Chains A and B, each alone.
Chain A
Amino acid sequence: MQYTSESLERLINEFSKLPSIGRKTAQRLAFHLLKQPKEDVLVLSKALADIKEKIGRCSVCFNVTEQDPCVLCTNPKRDRNTICVVEEANDVLAIERIDQYRGQYHVLGGLLNPLDGIGPDDLKIKELLLRLNGNVKEVILAINPNVSGDATVMYIAEKMNGIPVKISRIARGIPIGSDLEFADMTTLTRAMEGRVVL
């Protein structure tokens, strides 16, 4: 298909490179922007440019940040005895949303994935172990319950063997509001394993 504007075609091509965006959606987004006031489009383009110019990684927790160390690491009100280990920076947002956790974070930047050749050296595991100085009392592994997640959890637990720090993993099991009847075998087994004493 030939477009009458090279700029429009370039924008559509760029949009269609984004995850979950097909050619049609890219075209719809491009035409939507075309109808917007110039100022709004400039705000968007500046926001896009800023994420590459201003945002970096925190040298302590490896979360995304505009200042190093990040606001979570420097906040004196946060508990320094607990570190919550997550796969990616967006998992920090998910946990912050519940407004229950007051400790520190550590972003691994991925999970062990032997099928894709992603090993421990590709993740921030060594950096996590270096953070386990005398202050840290507990490490919470808030990692997705899949094969890569399980492998990462077991690897970290193995590496922390002998370090006097409590290590825990977030519970796996039945989601709130669902029916036991429809739970699959694996989920139900994990839920039974993770049952709590009342």
Chain B
Amino acid sequence: MSIQRTEAIILKTIPYGETSKILTTFTKNMGKVNLLAKGARDVKSKYGGSLELFNYISVIYYDRTERDLQYVSDVSVIDPFLQIHNDLDRTYEALAIIEMCNRLIHGNEDNLHIFDLLVQTLQGIDRAEKRPVNGLLYFMLHVATRLGFTMDFDSCKNCRDVMDHKELNFSVEHGRVVCESCPSHLRNVSGALLSKESLGIMRQIARSHGNGLYNIAMSEKACHEVYHLLLRHLQFHMEELQNLNSLSFLKLA
């Protein structure tokens, strides 16, 4: 048995027994770890509100490799994302993100690049003065990139033409746009139409590293188009992301 100290985001909580909680956490160093927090739901628990969904915590636990569930020894909150808790739309967006993470992360291997993306996105959604939904779009696009399913919006998949068309086809299968001049069979393979506005937004989000992300303005129609294309791309390449429960709660759905 060893004592582990790591940072983590809480992806799921399940009540256990009279006062305890089972937590699914995405840790910075050990991937996904299931933890048992004894007495966490008791009014006088020392954990109090630390073990709530999507809290960013520092946790110490006893690690026994032969056990599926590790016992929590101590917890402190690094960031409770209070603004997310105070706003229904932000809550739904954050829940969609942590559900995606919960499905995508398997086992105890670290996924530092996704962990950092998750923390950065939740902090962005929490602090955004406007358009927190951009955080969700940013996460969807960048999680695809970090898992090897990059989306390229800069040139045509076939002719490599740098395009300036009114409407373009995006090949979900290849993760690239296909211009109108290229053969129709290329455009129609697992394709989705993308307006010029949506294409511009996608390019901005792809190049954004958090800075100015929440200032990217877009029409409601373009926001829907971008979201549905991102979802289609993710679900095409990652089977785990089919039938996500939380998506139907989003305004975009």
Stretch at the interface among A55-63, A73-81, A135-143, A150-158: A150-158
Q: Which residue of A lies closest to B249 (CB)?
A: A114
**A20-B17, A115-B246, A119-B248 known; A186-B82 Cβ under 8 A:** yes
Give the complex CA separation of A147 and B122 in angstroms.
15
Nearest-neighbour CB distance to chain A for B150, whole angstroms, equals 28
Give the complex CA separation of A54 and B95 in angstroms.
40
Q: Is the CB of B46 within 8 A of A182?
A: yes
Type the 1/0 row for A183-198, where 1 means its CB is closer than 8 Å to any CB of B: 1111101100000000
Q: Is the CB of B54 within 8 A of A147?
A: yes
Q: Is the CB of B248 within 8 A of A186?
A: no
Give the complex CA separation of A115 and B77 in angstroms.
22
Q: Is the CB of B245 within 8 A of A117?
A: yes
Size class of A's contact patch?
Answer: 20 to 34
Q: Is the CB of B249 within 8 A of A119?
A: yes
List A residues 157-198 near B (Cβ within 8 Å): 158, 175, 177-178, 182-187, 189-190
Q: Is the CB of B48 within 8 A of A183?
A: yes
Q: Which residues of A contact B77 (CB under 8 A)?
A: 184-186
Q: Is the CB of B245 within 8 A of A145?
A: no
Q: Which residues of B contact A177 (CB under 8 A)?
A: 44
Give the complex CA separation of A114 and B93 in angstroms.
10
Residue among B44, B50, B87, B98 making CB contact with A186, cutoff 8 Å: B50
Nearest-neighbour CB distance to chain A for B126, whole angstroms, equals 13
**A146 contacts B by Cβ under 8 Å:** yes
Give the complex CA separation of A177 and B42 in angstroms.
14
**A114-B95, A186-B77 known; A20-B18 Cβ under 8 A:** yes
Nearest-neighbour CB distance to chain B for A108, whole angstroms, equals 16
Nearest-neighbour CB distance to chain B for A133, whole angstroms, equals 26
**A99 contacts B by Cβ under 8 Å:** no
**B134 contacts A by Cβ under 8 Å:** no
Give the complex CA separation of A114 and B245 in angstroms.
6
Q: Is the CB of A186 within 8 A of B88?
A: no
List B residues 96-113 near A (Cβ within 8 Å): 96, 98-99
Q: Is the CB of B53 within 8 A of A175?
A: no
Give the complex CA separation of A178 and B45 in angstroms.
10
Q: Is the CB of B44 within 8 A of A175?
A: yes
Give the complex CA separation of A191 and B76 in angstroms.
17
Nearest-neighbour CB distance to chain A for B229, whole angstroms, equals 22
Q: Which residues of B contact A158 (CB under 8 A)?
A: 88
Q: Is the CB of A184 within 8 A of B50?
A: yes
Give the complex CA separation of A11 and B60 in angstroms.
41
Give the complex CA separation of A41 and B169 in angstroms.
72
**B174 contacts A by Cβ under 8 Å:** no
Type the 1/0 row for A1-36, where 1 means its CB is closer than 8 Å to any CB of B: 000000000000000000110000000000000000
Q: Which residues of B contact A19 (CB under 8 A)?
A: 17
Q: Which residue of A lies closest to B243 (CB)?
A: A117
**A39 contacts B by Cβ under 8 Å:** no
**B26 contacts A by Cβ under 8 Å:** no
**A40 contacts B by Cβ under 8 Å:** no
**B92 contacts A by Cβ under 8 Å:** yes
Q: Is the CB of B44 within 8 A of A151?
A: no
Contacts A150-B85, A151-B92, A187-B48 supplied; 16 other A-B pairs, CB < 8 Å: A20-B17, A115-B12, A119-B248, A147-B85, A150-B91, A151-B88, A154-B86, A154-B88, A175-B43, A177-B44, A178-B44, A184-B75, A185-B77, A186-B48, A186-B82, A189-B82
Q: B residues engaging A (CB < 8 A)?
A: 12-13, 17-18, 43-44, 46-50, 52-55, 75-77, 80, 82, 85-88, 91-92, 95-96, 98-99, 245-246, 248-249
Q: Can you spell out 5 A-B residue pairs with CB atoms less than 8 angstroms apart? A: A20-B18, A114-B92, A114-B96, A150-B86, A184-B76
